[in-house]
Amino acid sequence: MAASSQAPGAKGFRWKLVAPLAVWLVIYLWPVPAGLNVNQWHYFAVFAAVITGLILESMPVGAVGFIGLTVAGVAGYIDSDPGKSLRWMLGGFAESTVWLIVGAFVFSIGYRKSQLGRRIALVLVQRLGSNTLGLGYAVAMSDFLLAPATPSNTARSGGIVYPIISNIPRIYGSEPGPTAGKIGTYVMWTAFASTAVTSSLFFTALAPNAAALAIAKKTVGVEVSWGQWFLGFAPLGILLMVLVPLLSYLVCRPEVKRSPEISEWAAKELVEMGPMSRNEWIMLGLIVLAMFLWIAGSSPDIHVPVLGSNFVNATTVVFIVISLMLVTGVIEFADIVSEKSAWEVFFYFTSLLTLASGLNEIGFIKWFATEYAKPLAGLSPSTAMLLLVALFFWIHYFFSSITSHAAAVLPVVLAVGSGIPDLPVATLAMLCMYSLGLMGVISPYATGPAPMYFGSGYIGKGQFWGFGLIFGLLYFAGLLLIVLPWLQTR
């Protein structure tokens, strides 16, 4: 019995392992397109195989990228000199954006160990949870407050918010299945739809944001600070944070309209937690410090003296705060070492960003832009940009990873856009990057927390797809009608 239960899984794993190799072989053997040389085409075959492995999750994502990077380096696709090829392979490990995300994962350890994240969510539920709509705003606000310093929406929404709100529906007899509509569907969908917004609102709220910005910088030279990212999306992001609980209320139609018991439950949980501990106060102070340095330190009009310098890099802020967390005992070094997800991201992003930049270095992106911008040449720059943003957003139905989506599609879209005369490539890049968090709402597999909320049983299969389409259309319309004009005026 045990053997038979393992066989399907093993068979499935072999299929997923073979698929990237098949993609590599097909492209490798395919006639080299006009305008490319053999070296460029074979490098693209490796890159396509890596993306296939990431989409199918053939093995841990860090391993997929690492293997692809090794193959490209050993084959000498970027440089035939072994020493220079090795330096190219190792270059990504010095990327500041990768270390920014790894460090921000460590922040989430502090939230978790100090219990500050749990307390924030419970306080909001206690204060706003006397009626169902207010409860929705409490859920959304919990994610909003945690988002700036939690780079993983899976860790934030799935690891902090979800465990708390999953206790709420059962107080009203709202269980997965027939009674889910009482209040459970509303609570779960509000949490899920909110984390999609916060993931786009803050640069440090979603790990792929850093990867996308690194790709945009390498591909078309676009670079923005933490504050510039926030200000560019704020008109839509703040509006959506106000509207999402209300729209979810209208779409989900919860049967329970008032929920005084929720406030009482949260109050009891807070009593059991007791007053804020030393580590909670320290963690709160460190997060405020990080926010101040991120915003003020990246502004050309504000000079923040740090160790004799008038400017502090965003990644340096992470190192400063982590050092203070270690000195004060909020976390231990063993916690950092054991944070598997952080180190997986480190290898994953490092290899993926290096491989993506390699496409540009060998001239593949330039060739692609030249060839595939031709059908758009007759269109106006604004029409072409809208079509490219639409392609980037809605093609996410074919991806289960936002990071692999960004790595596979963003360089192509930016390359095509840069080949169209008078098209504002910087605006195109920002619209694509802002859409990364928003697109996570469209399907039950579109982003990390999605399978968790889908698997809760409170949101039916048909409901999830339907709600996802409704909110996806809303978010996409907001990008075009609010963010686009706002970016064009700045």
pLDDT tens readout for residues 152-201:
787 788 767 887 777 778 777 788 888 888 889 999 999 999 999 999 99
The answer to which of 170-184, 223-237, 268-282 has the lowest mean pLDDT is 170-184
Q: How many CB atoms lie within 10 A of CB 285?
A: 13
Residue range 117-122: mean pLDDT, rounded: 76
The predicted pLDDT at position 333 comes to 93
pLDDT tens-digit series, residues 459-486: 987 898 899 999 999 999 999 999 999 9
Q: Over range 314-332, report the average pLDDT.
A: 89
Shared-domain flag, residues 209 and 231 = yes
Furthest C-alpha separation in the chain: 70
User: How many domains is the chain partitioned into structurally?
Assistant: 2
Residues 6+ apart with CB under 8 A from 123: 266, 270
As a whole number, mean pLDDT of residues 351-378 equals: 77
What's the average model confidence in pLDDT over 192-220? 90
Percent of the chain with pLDDT over 90: 33
SS3 state at 131: strand
Per-residue 3-state assignment (H helix, E strand, C coil) for 304-330:
CCECCECCCCHHHHHHHHHHHHHHHCC
Q: Is residue 413 part of a domain?
A: no
269 lies in a domain? yes
Asked if the structure places residue 425 within a domain, the reply is no
Cα–Cα nearest to 49, from 79, 78, 29, 76: 29
Q: Please tell me whether residues 246 and 298 are part of one structural domain.
A: yes
137-165, pLDDT tens digit by residue? Answer: 988 998 998 888 777 787 788 767 887 77
Cβ 75 vs Cβ 332: under 8 Å: no
In a domain, 407, yes or no: no
Residue 300 has pLDDT above 60, yes or no: no
Looking at residues 324-329, what average pLDDT do you find? 95
136 within some domain: yes
Q: Are residues 66 and 195 in the same domain?
A: no
H or E segment at 44?
Answer: helix 38-56
- 232 and 355 together in one domain: no
Domain-located, residue 114:
yes
DSSP 161: I
Tell me, yes or no, whether 220 and 251 share the same domain. yes
Q: Let me know whether 71 and 187 are in one domain.
A: no
The verdict on 353 and 333 lying in the same domain is no
Which of 160, 96, 167, 168 lies closest to 130, judged by CA?
A: 168
Average pLDDT, the chain: 83
Q: For residue 260, what are the CA distances in angstroms to 163, 187, 266, 303?
A: 20, 15, 10, 48
**Band of the pLDDT at 210, cuts 50, 70, 90?**
confident
113 falls within a domain: yes
Q: How far apart, in whole angstroms, are the C-alpha atoms of residue 90 and residue 354?
A: 9
370 near 419, Cβ under 8 Å? yes
Same domain, yes or no: 33 and 134: no
Residues 55, 116: one domain?
Answer: no
- In terms of domains, do 62 and 137 share one? no
Residue 369: CB atoms within 10 A of its CB come to 20
pLDDT digit string, tens, across residues 425-457: 999 999 999 999 999 999 887 887 887 788 788
Residue 74 burial (CB count, 10 A): 12
Distance CA 286, CA 292 (A): 10
156 membership: H or E segment, kind and range = none
* Exposed / middle / buried, residue 197 (Cβ in 10 Å: 0-12, 13-18, 19+): buried
Provide the pLDDT for residue 312.
67
The pLDDT assigned to 8 comes to 38
Q: Does residue 261 lie in a domain region?
A: yes
User: Is the Cβ–Cβ distance between 226 and 314 less than 8 Å?
Assistant: yes
74 and 198 share one domain: no
Q: State which H helix or E strand residue 175 sits in.
A: none
Same domain, 55 and 131: no
Range of the domain at 65: 19-94+347-361
